[in-house]
C-alpha cells in the first residue's frame, strides 16, 4: 500500500466566501470553551500539553487567523489499530481539534434537533446503551412483548467512512448553515485533505494490514472522511440522516434503529423486509453513493437473538457479547500499571452491567482480585479501588 498521498490538497476557499469577506463573530471566549471541550479527553497528549503551555498566545493566534481568513489545518497523525479489525485512525493537530469543537459548538444543535431519535452514536446521551435499549423497546412493541413472531433486517455500509462523497455532504451542511463565515469554516474542515501533510506512526507492516479499499490513502479526491476526528463523527451523522428520514417516512417499517452505519429494521412479515432492502439499496446508491455490505446483511427471526452495538437482545433479556469477557481479561493481563488496570476493569464492568451479565462480571472481578485489587458493589455501580 502506498503511503504517499494520491491526490493534491483540496482547499475550500473556492467553494464559497473567503473568511475575510464577511464578519467573523468568533470570540476569545468561544475558543476557550472549544479548548476546554477538546482537552477533556486529550489532556495528556503531547500536542494538548504543548498548546496549553502557551494557552493565551495560541488562543489569540488562532483567533487572529480565523478573523483574517488565514487559518488552515496543520499536520495529521495516522496510525493503525487492530481491534475489532485493522483500520486507520487519523488524529488532527490539537489546534485543529479546537477548531472542530468550535464549529461543532456553533452549528451542532440545529442539526441534532432535526435528527431522528432512532439515530445513535456520537450524540449526547445516545451511546451503545441507548441504542441497545431502544432496539429492545422496539422489539417488545413489534412482538407484543415476545408473544408475536417478528423478523429483523440488519445492514451496514461497505467501507462507509472512506466512501462518503464530500460534495453531497457539503450540500447537506449548506442546507442548515446559512451564515457565510461559518459555512466557509465548515468547508475548510470538510475539504481539508489530511494526506497532504501526515505523519505515519505505524510501521509499514502494520499499515499493510489495512485492506487497500479501506485506506483513506487510496481514495479518490473528494471522497472519504478521516476516522478519529470529532468533525468526521458529526459529519457522518449528518450524511446518514437522509437514510433515517427515508427509512422512517418512506419505508415506514415497524421499527428502525441506527448506530453509525449499522442499522436494523423490524417487521412481522419478512417479505416486507426483503422489499425494504431493495429500496434502501437503490436509495443509498443514488442519493449517497453508498453500497451495502452483502456479507453483513442479515434477515432472521428476532427470537434467535439480535446482535447490535455489542449487545445480544434475546427474549426477555439482553446481554453483552460473550467475547467481551475475553477481551477484558486479555486487556488486564497486558496492562502493567495498577491504576490503568483498575480503569480498564471499571470500563468493562460498566459495559457488562448494561447487559446484566452477572456471571461474567463475577469472573472479571475474580480475575481482578487475583491481581491484587479489592472490590465493592452496591445498587448503583460496581467498581474497583
15, pLDDT greater than 60 = no
pLDDT, tens digit, 9 for 90 and up, residues 206-241: 999 999 999 999 999 999 999 999 999 999 999 999
What's the CA gap between 58 and 97, in Å, rounded?
A: 13
93, pLDDT greater than 80 = yes
The per-residue pLDDT for 368 is: 79
Contacts of 252 (CB under 8 A, 6+ apart): none
Under DSSP, the state recorded for 17 is -
The per-residue pLDDT for 70 is: 95
The per-residue pLDDT for 356 is: 66
Contacts of 157 (CB under 8 A, 6+ apart): 163, 261, 284, 290, 291, 292, 293
Identify the helix (H) or strand (E) that includes residue 36: helix 28-39
376, pLDDT greater than 80 = no
The per-residue pLDDT for 47 is: 85
Grid cell listed for 11: 482547499
The per-residue pLDDT for 355 is: 64
The residue ranking higher by pLDDT, 98 or 125, is 98
177, pLDDT greater than 90 = yes
Residue 128: φ, ψ to 5°: -65, -35
Average pLDDT score, the chain? 87
Confidence category of residue 379, pLDDT binned at 50, 70, 90: very low
Contacts of 192 (CB under 8 A, 6+ apart): 9, 10, 12, 72, 73
Confidence category of residue 243, pLDDT binned at 50, 70, 90: very high
371, pLDDT greater than 60 = yes
Confidence category of residue 18, pLDDT binned at 50, 70, 90: low
pLDDT, tens digit, 9 for 90 and up, residues 179-204: 999 999 999 999 999 999 999 999 99
Q: Mean pLDDT across the stretch 65-90?
A: 94
Confidence category of residue 273, pLDDT binned at 50, 70, 90: very high
Grid cell listed for 228: 478519529
The per-residue pLDDT for 366 is: 78
Confidence category of residue 360, pLDDT binned at 50, 70, 90: confident
pLDDT, tens digit, 9 for 90 and up, residues 125-176: 888 888 989 999 999 999 999 999 999 999 999 999 999 999 999 999 999 9
10, pLDDT greater than 60 = no
Ramachandran region, residue 305 (left: φ > 0; alpha: ψ -120 to 50; beta: rest):
left
Please state, for a pLDDT cut of 70, what percent of the chain lies above it.
89
pLDDT, tens digit, 9 for 90 and up, residues 300-334: 999 999 999 888 898 987 787 777 777 777 777 77
Confidence category of residue 90, pLDDT binned at 50, 70, 90: very high
The per-residue pLDDT for 23 is: 82
The per-residue pLDDT for 3 is: 41
Amino acid at each position: 500500500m502506498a503511503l504517499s498521498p494520491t491526490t493534491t490538497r483540496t482547499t475550500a476557499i473556492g467553494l464559497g466566501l473567503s473568511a475575510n469577506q464577511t464578519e467573523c463573530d468568533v470570540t476569545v471566549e468561544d475558543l476557550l470553551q472549544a479548548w476546554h471541550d477538546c482537552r477533556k479527553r486529550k489532556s495528556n497528549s503531547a500536542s494538548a500539553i504543548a498548546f496549553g503551555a502557551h494557552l493565551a498566545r495560541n488562543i489569540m493566534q488562532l483567533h487572529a487567523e480565523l478573523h483574517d481568513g488565514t487559518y488552515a489545518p496543520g499536520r495529521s497523525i495516522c496510525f493503525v489499530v487492530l481491534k475489532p479489525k485493522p483500520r486507520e485512525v487519523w488524529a488532527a493537530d490539537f489546534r485543529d481539534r479546537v477548531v472542530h469543537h468550535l464549529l461543532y459548538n456553533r452549528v451542532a444543535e440545529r442539526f441534532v434537533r432535526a435528527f431522528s431519535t432512532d439515530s445513535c452514536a456520537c450524540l449526547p446521551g445516545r451511546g451503545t446503551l441507548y441504542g441497545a435499549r431502544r432496539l429492545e423497546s422496539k422489539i417488545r412493541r413489534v412482538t407484543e412483548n415476545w408473544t408475536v413472531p417478528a423478523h429483523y433486517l440488519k445492514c451496514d455500509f461497505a467501507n462507509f467512512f472512506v466512501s462518503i462523497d464530500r460534495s453531497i455532504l457539503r450540500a447537506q451542511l449548506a442546507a442548515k448553515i446559512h451564515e457565510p463565515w461559518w459555512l466557509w469554516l465548515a468547508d475548510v474542515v470538510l475539504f481539508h485533505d489530511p494526506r497532504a501533510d501526515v505523519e505515519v506512526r505505524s510501521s509499514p507492516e502494520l499499515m499493510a494490514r489495512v485492506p487497500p479499499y479501506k485506506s483513506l490513502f487510496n481514495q479518490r479526491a473528494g471522497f472519504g472522511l478521516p476516522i478519529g476526528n470529532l468533525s468526521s463523527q458529526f459529519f457522518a451523522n449528518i450524511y446518514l440522516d437522509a437514510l433515517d428520514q427515508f427509512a422512517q417516512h418512506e419505508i415506514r417499517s415497524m421499527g428502525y434503529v441506527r448506530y453509525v452505519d449499522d442499522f436494523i429494521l423490524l417487521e412481522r412479515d419478512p417479505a416486507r423486509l426483503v422489499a425494504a432492502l431493495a429500496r434502501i439499496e437503490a436509495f443509498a446508491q443514488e442519493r449517497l453513493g453508498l453500497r451495502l455490505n452483502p456479507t453483513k446483511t442479515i434477515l432472521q427471526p428476532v427470537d434467535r437473538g439480535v446482535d447490535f452495538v455489542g449487545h445480544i437482545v434475546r427474549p426477555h433479556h439482553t446481554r453483552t457479547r460473550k467475547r467481551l469477557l475475553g477481551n477484558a481479561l486479555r486487556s488486564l493481563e497486558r496492562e502493567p500499571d495498577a491504576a490503568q488496570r483498575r480503569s480498564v476493569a471499571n470500563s468493562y464492568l460498566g459495559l457488562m452491567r448494561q447487559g446484566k451479565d452477572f456471571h461474567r462480571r463475577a469472573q472479571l472481578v475474580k480475575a481482578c482480585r487475583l491481581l491484587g485489587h479489592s472490590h465493592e458493589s452496591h445498587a448503583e455501580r460496581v467498581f474497583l479501588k
